[in-house]
């Protein structure tokens, strides 16, 4: 896979925000006209959010749960926008949704995690948008496959959508705890590396799944250079018809936004820049030594490979592999190194050792 070339224009709203984090807020689902209007008024009054969100069609894992109000809710969003001036966003999952949203003047569309996984749906939605200039936000797919995320962004771009954003909403994992969806920050950062001009919004609500973790996830997102947040809010979260456990009140959003620390992207004073330069030089030297040690280690692996071949001995020896992991773990503990770092490092080294011997 080669880095994708997207033709992107930043949406105006994102460009404006500088003093405070860029925020998209609103309920998981539009539930009633009064709920949409009241929530919209509260958010507009606080001035915290740039965009109001509400799901109109809800993709639910199992049938029988609240599946959204449908098209009529779009007129509530329109009414809320007319009253407060706040642009509105909703999720679309097929061409019919797109048509209805365009008819009702919806300003932003997002593609849900359950849709991004399916290139047929994504293509259908993208085709329905051909020739329309509307911003589209693409949530990551449910499972950690960055290719599907990039592919969906490319499909929209190829149909002429230039105002694109990605939304990092976490990934399904057997070991998601304490999160509902594991925040694989490395994947969001990888996406940023591949498509540096693409804004990435973090959705701490779907990552956290519970109100207590939202502020921590939001701060981490900003510290890692995410371009904004999408947070679910409900006037009365315990009565919400979907995602009740993760929604917070508009007042709680205001408190959260006031507590978030916005950091500079780099140092702007010479004293600290100089300190950093010296430390980085030291790190460069250590990295050089690390690589040279690694080269010595791999040379020894090649020697072992040759001896094994001569003597007709199997390459992979489970006992030795376990011994390496165990002893290196102990060495790492003595040096106070993070356990998972040592484990992953030696798994990686071992994988490459096997590849080298295989070639021999
Ligand atoms: C949502 O934003 O309400 C939603 C359904 O999100 P996701 O697609 O991330 O599960
Ligand atoms: Mn939700």
CA of 153 relative to ligand 2 center, distance in Å: 21
Beta-carbon contacts of 330 under 8 Å, excluding residues fewer than 6 positions away, are none
pLDDT in tens, 79-89: 999 999 999 99
Task: Determine phi and psi for 23, rounding to 5 degrees.
Answer: -130, 135
Q: What's the CATH code of the domain at 284?
A: 1.20.59.10
CA of 29 relative to ligand 2 center, distance in Å: 7
39 C-beta neighbours (distance < 10 Å), count: 24
Q: Are residues 279 and 174 in the same domain?
A: no
10 C-beta neighbours (distance < 10 Å), count: 16
Domain encompassing residue 309: 270-359
Q: Are residues 31 and 88 in the same domain?
A: yes
Identify the pLDDT of residue 185: 97
Whether the pLDDT of residue 17 is over 70: the answer is no
Whether the pLDDT of residue 176 is over 70: the answer is no
Is residue 229 within 8 Å of residue 202, measured between CB atoms? yes
CA of 327 relative to ligand 1 center, distance in Å: 44
pLDDT band at 246 (very low <50, low <70, confident <90, very high): very high
Q: Are residues 204 and 287 in the same domain?
A: no
Q: Are residues 282 and 220 in the same domain?
A: no
Closest C-alpha to ligand 1, atom 10 = 113
296 C-beta neighbours (distance < 10 Å), count: 10
Share of the chain above pLDDT 70, in %: 97
pLDDT in tens, 131-169: 999 999 999 999 999 999 999 999 999 999 999 999 999
Whether the pLDDT of residue 2 is over 80: the answer is no
Domain edge (last residue) among 195, 230, 259:
259
Q: Are residues 305 and 253 in the same domain?
A: no
Q: Are residues 210 and 327 in the same domain?
A: no
How far is 77 from 126, CA to CA, in rounded Å? 23
The better pLDDT of the pair 196, 62 is held by 196
Task: Give the number of the atom of ligand 1 that is nearest the alpha carbon of residue 170.
Answer: 9
**Domain membership flag for residue 264:** no
Does ligand 1 have an atom closer than 6 angstroms to the CB of 113? yes
């Amino acid at each position: 896979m080669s880095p994708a070339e997207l033709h992107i224009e930043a949406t105006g709203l994102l460009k404006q925000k500088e003093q405070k984090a860029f925020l998209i807020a609103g309920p998981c689902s539009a539930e009633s006209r009064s709920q949409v209007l009241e929530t919209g008024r509260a958010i507009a009054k606080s001035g915290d959010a740039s965009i109001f969100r509400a799901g109109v069609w809800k993709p639910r894992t199992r049938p029988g749960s609240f599946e959204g109000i449908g098209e009529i809710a779009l007129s509530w969003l329109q009414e809320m926008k007319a009253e407060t001036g706040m642009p509105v966003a909703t999720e679309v999952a097929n061409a019919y949704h797109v048509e209805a949203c365009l008819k009702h003047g919806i300003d932003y569309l997002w593609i849900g995690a359950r849709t991004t996984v399916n290139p047929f749906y994504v293509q259908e939605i993208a085709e329905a948008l051909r020739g329309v200039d509307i911003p589209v936000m693409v949530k990551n797919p449910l499972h950690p496959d960055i290719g599907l995320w990039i592919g969906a962004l490319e499909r929209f771009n190829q149909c002429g959508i230039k105002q694109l954003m990605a939304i990092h909403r976490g990934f399904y994992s057997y070991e998601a705890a304490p999160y509902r969806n594991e925040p694989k920050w490395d994947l969001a950062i990888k996406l940023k590396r591949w498509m540096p001009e693409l804004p990435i919004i973090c959705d701490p609500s779907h990552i956290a799944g519970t109100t207590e973790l939202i502020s921590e996830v939001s701060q981490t997102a900003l510290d890692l250079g995410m371009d904004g947040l999408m947070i679910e809010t409900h006037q009365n979260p315990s009565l919400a018809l979907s995602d009740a456990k993760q929604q917070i009140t508009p007042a709680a959003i205001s408190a959260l936004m006031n507590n978030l620390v916005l950091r500079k992207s780099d140092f702007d004073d010479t004293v600290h820049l100089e300190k950093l330069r010296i430390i980085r030089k030291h790190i460069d030297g250590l990295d050089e030594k690390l690589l040279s040690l690694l080269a010595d280690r791999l040379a020894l692996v090649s020697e072992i490979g040759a001896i094994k071949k001569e003597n007709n001995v199997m390459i992979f020896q489970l006992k030795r592999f376990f011994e390496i992991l165990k002893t290196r773990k102990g060495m790492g503990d003595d040096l106070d190194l993070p356990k998972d770092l040592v484990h992953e490092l030696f798994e990686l080294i071992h994988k490459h050792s096997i590849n080298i011997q295989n070639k021999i």
